[in-house]
Amino acid sequence: MIRSPGRPGAGDPTPAPAAPADRSPSRPAVAAGAVLAGLCLAASVPPWGWWPLAFVGIAVLDRLIADRPWRSRLLRGWLVGAAWFYPATLFVLDLTAPGYPLAGAMLGAYLGVATALSPGGPARRFVLPGTVALLEAARWSWPFGGVPLAHLALGQVDSPLAWSARLAGSLLVVALVVVVGQALSSAVDRSWRPAGAGLGVAVALVAAGALHPRATVVDPAVEIALVQGGGAQQTRASTDQQPVVLGRHLEASRTIEVDDLDLILWPENVVNPGRFLAFDDAYESLVDLARRYDAPVIAGWFTTVSDTTTANYQSIILPNGTEPDRYDKVRLVPFGEYVPLRGLVEAIAPDSGIPRREVQASTTDPVLDSPVGPIGVSISWEGFFDDRARAAVAEGAELLTNPTNGSSYWLTQVQTQQVASNQLRAMENDRWVLQVAPTGFSAVIDPDGNVVERTGISERAVLLDTVEMRRGRTLASLVGRWPMVLYGLGAVALVLTAEARRRSPAT
């Protein structure tokens, strides 16, 4: 009997099945996917603000860590984070070229830890939003008081997810970005049940935020003027600029053609008495301005206290020449207003340009008593921290302000992210927020997070608008970060418990 070739006969052994081909992506493909995910996350935050790309970035991240061991999740998550933060914090390169690569690597590590703490299996759909929120809370708090820049919530201020900020603040927005991104990843796999569940959670929380009870309007017609003196960006402090900066803001203020102003707001530290500007002369010029418009002036001062300390504060000056209240800055900029580990820094880099004097940190409540009502103040860097606005509202603030000075920064990353941060503060607390800067951006933001007006960079401008004084607290202003921190801790605890049970011997 002649057998046909290639067909086994009855007495032939059954051939072994071929080994399945390894379909796992190559290392270059994984690295390319991680970089793509990180760039999508970077492009979602200001100044670009292409917010849908955040969901794409999280979807790619979700697929990169699926069914991977924790070390792989750690490395892949870190690579995504580094590709996110290097472009999103490019301004750091101008401030400290040696510190830029270290900062990007450190910030990326937070995402790496978040992905390592989350399991690689299906449970990650519940755990990863919590671990990302938990590690973001950590990043906003440590080191040196925290670095709440370029985070996912900043990119969502123009998306529907921002409404959820009224419920549990920016961390809830961060978690929902992860939820929606994972839902997109599930949809790609045609896993419709988890995809629908994720989208359902997001829709429910957005709707709850939109339907949240609103604050009570105390005064619907407060006429305000935000004064931006103008000038070049990317400049450093100089004593010979003391009268120049003050003069720019006085000249801009004199262009106001409204007679019934209720409040004039100046930026941070534009009144800087020193070698070329006498304190009494600066003070009298502000009194003259207040008298001219019969309105209080809130202005930012930067004054020498001693050979080693300075004060950074906002004070309110009335037309009668008195200064009834002031607020000194509480949360300081590390290496800008104070120097952590000064002895070590001076020993390693004595010519690093760190400030000789440090700003004295205050513990005062961030509220100024004014003729129009209590006004909350977050000076510059403090505007990025949700707890400062919450503290002001808790003390009765009916309007929030963020006087700042971004003139030393390269590019517009910090300035645009600061506007977005104040949009979140407005929604979290249901308050109008006024941001004013000497060279931009200055902005008027309504309680729905809409930017009503905004200046350009370096221009001399005065924003005239009508805002409301509002009273009452949102759920987010009451509970702060705690719901999301507890969610993250609970998710991690469940993972650790499940892993301990898996490793324990059977009884």
State pLDDT tens for residues 238-273.
Answer: 777 889 999 999 999 999 998 899 999 999 999 999
Summarised one tens digit per residue, pLDDT across range 394-410 is 999 999 999 999 888 88
Beta-bridge partners for 298: 265, 316
439 Cβ contact list (under 8 Å, min separation 6): 228, 229, 230, 231, 232, 233, 406, 407, 457, 458
> Model confidence at 506, in pLDDT bands (50, 70, 90)?
low
Q: Residue 304: what are its φ and ψ, rounded to 5°?
A: -80, 130
Q: Given CATH 3.60.110.10, say whether it is the number of domain 217-339+354-473.
A: yes
Written in H, E and C, the secondary structure of 137-180 is HHHCCCCCCCCCCCCHHHHHCCCHHHHHHHHHHHHHHHHHHHHH
Summarised one tens digit per residue, pLDDT across range 326-383 is 999 999 988 888 888 777 666 676 665 667 789 999 999 999 999 999 999 999 999 9
Q: What is the pLDDT of residue 9?
A: 44
Per the CB < 8 A criterion, the answer to whether 450 and 442 are in contact is no
pLDDT at residue 323 above 60? yes
Q: What is the pLDDT of residue 505?
A: 72
Q: What residue has token string 């440090």? A: 358
Q: What is the pLDDT of residue 6?
A: 45
Per-residue burial over 191-205, b = 16 or more CB atoms within 10 Å of its CB, e = otherwise: eeebbebbbebbeeb
Summarised one tens digit per residue, pLDDT across range 179-192 is 999 999 999 999 99
Per-residue pLDDT averaged across 421-434, rounded? 98
Per the CB < 8 A criterion, the answer to whether 429 and 163 are in contact is no
Structure tokens at 433: 């927020």
> Model confidence at 453, in pLDDT bands (50, 70, 90)?
very high
DSSP 8-state assignment for residue 241 = G
pLDDT at residue 11 above 60? no
pLDDT at residue 168 above 90? yes
Indicate the angle between helix axes 413-429 and 386-394, nearest 10 degrees. 40
- Tally Cβ neighbours within 10 Å of residue 342: 13
Beta strands in 229-357 (DSSP E): 263-265, 297-304, 309-317, 325-328
Comparing CA positions, the residue from 63, 232, 47 lying closest to residue 149 is 47
Order the strands of the 367-370 sheet from edge to edge. 367-370, 373-377, 399-403, 433-436, 443-445, 451-454
Per the CB < 8 A criterion, the answer to whether 382 and 330 are in contact is yes
> Model confidence at 12, in pLDDT bands (50, 70, 90)?
very low
CA–CA separation, 2 and 274 (whole Å): 108
Comparing CA positions, the residue from 424, 423, 454 lying closest to residue 436 is 454
Q: What is the pLDDT of residue 96?
A: 81
Q: What is the pLDDT of residue 352?
A: 59
Mean pLDDT of the chain: 92
Q: What is the pLDDT of residue 504?
A: 80
Comparing CA positions, the residue from 222, 224, 149, 227 lying closest to residue 436 is 227
Per the CB < 8 A criterion, the answer to whether 291 and 345 are in contact is no
CA–CA separation, 422 and 376 (whole Å): 13
Q: Is the dihedral angle over the CA atoms 125, 127, 133, 138 positive or is it negative?
A: negative
ω into residue 143 within 30 of 0, thus cis? yes
Q: Which amino acid is at 310?
A: T
Summarised one tens digit per residue, pLDDT across range 189-221 is 999 999 999 999 999 999 999 999 999 999 999
Q: Residue 75: what are its φ and ψ, rounded to 5°?
A: -65, -45
Per-residue pLDDT averaged across 21-29, rounded? 78
